[in-house]
Amino acid sequence: MLTTERLTQLISTKRAILTQLREIGQRQTDLAASGDIGLLLSLLGAKQSLIATLQELETALRPHYAEDPEKRPWRSAQERVACAQHASECNALLEEILRLEQLAAEKMTARRNEVAGQLQQVHAASQVRNAYEAQRRTTTKVT
């Protein structure tokens, strides 16, 4: 097998994994907004598995990054163009994934702040109720 055939396989696999990660990122953003933590955690587990696979791919690709692209033995110019196109798509997918990660983080922060505000309201209401109960007991004992 030519090294360029292996490179093409690796790039195609990387593109497929990045496409899956983008889909997970879109779902993650939706779940972060809805607050469904159970599904979000399950999704993050699947995402972690894909990231591990992507890291393995990057390790396999590392020697190809050191090569001079002009000196690679391609079977045809079309194969070279297709591989370059897939590599370019990988870069675009990665940028989109990073954008989705940022968006999901922002939505999680907003959700966290919303829940914190609700907890503060519950705490304040509890303090008011306790004060009212204490006042009522004091008034009941006096009469």
The secondary structure of 70-93 as a DSSP string is GG---S-HHHHHHHHHHHHHHHHH
Average pLDDT over residues 29-46: 87
Residue 28 covered by a domain: yes
Residue 131 covered by a domain: no
Q: Does the pLDDT of residue 127 top 90, yes or no?
A: no
Q: Does the pLDDT of residue 51 top 70, yes or no?
A: yes
Q: What is the pTM of this model?
A: 0.76
> How would residue 32 be classed by pLDDT, with cut points 50, 70 and 90?
confident
Residue 129 covered by a domain: no
What domain range includes position 95? 3-108
Residue 39 covered by a domain: yes
Q: Residue 70: what pLDDT?
A: 83
Q: Is the dihedral of CA 118, 124, 128, 130 positive or negative?
A: positive
Residue 142 covered by a domain: no
Residue 47 covered by a domain: yes
Residue 43 covered by a domain: yes
CATH no. for residue 87? 1.20.58
Q: Residue 142: what pLDDT?
A: 64
Give residue for tokens 């607050």. Answer: 35
Over residues 100-121, the pLDDT tens digits come to: 999 988 988 887 788 788 888 8
- Look at the chain and report how many structural domains it folds into: 1
Residue 121 covered by a domain: no
CB 23 within 8 A of CB 77: no
Considering only 25-34, 53-62, 125-134, which range has the smallest mean pLDDT?
A: 125-134
More confident residue, 75 or 36: 75
